[in-house]
Amino acid sequence: MSTLDTAPVPAASQEFHRLSFTGNAAEYFGIWIVNILLTIITLGIYSAWAKVRRNRYFYGNTVLLGRAFEYHAKGKQILIGRLIVLGYLVVYNIVLAVLPIAGLLLFLVVLCFFPWLIMRGLRFSARVTSYRNVRFDFVGRMGGAFVAFMAGPVIAVLSLGLLAPLASRWMYRYLANNLRYGGRAFTADPKLGPIYKTWFFSALIIVLGLLIIAVAALANLSLIMALINNPDALPPGFQASMFVLGVIAYLTVLLSFGIAALFYRAGVRNIAWSATRFDGRHALKSDLSRFRYVWIALSNVAVTVLTLGLMRPWAAVRMARYVNEHTAIRFDGDVGEILAATGQEETAVGAEFMEFEGFDFGF
């Protein structure tokens, strides 16, 4: 990593500078397996420090213009946040068992504070992240978090997904428009038209999956009705066949919704990132191939399951490398001067402000 940290900054260029990922599966496996073992031995307490080690590895191997990102959180901060959440869950379940009405009120109180917890979590994640010794920050407010992470998903569900693009737009606008780097702002205004195009393709995948199940159900309608009316009348072989068909139908639904969600996620990311500007003039870009992204995600799950989790480090590194290689930024002007000016502004802010990042509540 030392050679990367001392790499020179390129001069002015109209080309996009891509991120890269310098980690490898063998290296991360050592960190991952130690994290697993220590988390088990300490009954979960070490999981906070495991998260820090994991993030420091992935951030430290995410490189832009020869310099890596850094993750500055401490395990104690994450542990305190998790203990607060655990304490609430214990109290909530006790109160719910003794006095259900009081338990319901306690749940509603926390539900009202949920946007605040999300906002604080985003601020924590931003403030413990730096690039070229300059910290990020997040200045979003509770109302924006409510719209982006509570109202949006509810509207998307109630509309049966028809308004999901609107919810996605709200979320990405909240995230980008409140992100800062060295005092300079990010802005984003992704358009609904392109998001709906991505949504339409994902919706077709779901419809196709449901059509396959409908055709299979119609072809075996008589057997299904017989199984419902009098299951004992069917021979064991037919009952077994219907059970297998039921499992296949369930997996088809799961797979179609999973593929659709992955297609949508990659497509919306491309749209939102490509609509984002830093300091009003430096353009970000994401050009993930939706087919490639889906293939990597699904094959990662398959390999991880088949190896009983042992290939999880390989899968994580594989996905990180692909996403980084398809994420870029184009600077409008001399890159060295821009980053130097941003660094000077960060120094003026003062390190004391960044010393208190709060706690990570895990949301």
Is residue 301 one of the residues assigned to a domain? no
Owning domain of residue 128: 1-140+178-190+337-363
- The H or E element that residue 68 is part of is strand 67-71
Tally of domains within the chain: 1
Is residue 281 one of the residues assigned to a domain? no
* Separation CA 291–CA 254 (nearest Å): 18
At residue 199, the pLDDT reads 97
Is residue 98 one of the residues assigned to a domain? yes
Residues 6 or more apart from 214 whose CB is under 8 A from it?
none
The candidate with the shortest Cα–Cα distance to 131, out of 355, 351, 346, is: 346
178 neighbors 148 (Cβ within 8 angstroms): no
* Token pair 């949006």: residue: 152
pLDDT tens digits, 83-138: 988 898 899 889 888 888 988 888 888 888 899 989 999 999 999 999 999 999 99
At residue 247, the pLDDT reads 82
Q: What does pLDDT average to over the chain? A: 87
pLDDT tens digits, 154-172: 999 999 999 999 999 999 9
pLDDT tens digits, 230-241: 666 566 666 677
21-26 contacts at long range (C-beta below 8 A, 24 or more positions apart): 21/58, 21/61, 21/62, 21/63, 21/317, 21/320, 21/321, 21/324, 21/325, 22/61, 22/63, 22/68, 23/57, 23/58, 23/61, 23/317, 23/320, 23/321, 24/317, 25/313, 25/314, 25/317, 25/318
Torsion of CA 141, 146, 148, 151, to 10 degrees: -160
At residue 356, the pLDDT reads 45
Residue 198 has pLDDT above 50, yes or no: yes
Is residue 264 one of the residues assigned to a domain? no
Model-level pTM? 0.86
At residue 213, the pLDDT reads 83
> Would you give the DSSP letter of residue 6?
T
Is residue 295 one of the residues assigned to a domain? no
> SS3 letters for 134-197?
EEEEECCCHHHHHHHHHHHHHHHHHCCCCCHHHHHHHHHHHHHHCEEECCEEEEECCCHHHHHH
Is residue 70 one of the residues assigned to a domain? yes
At residue 55, the pLDDT reads 97
At residue 244, the pLDDT reads 76
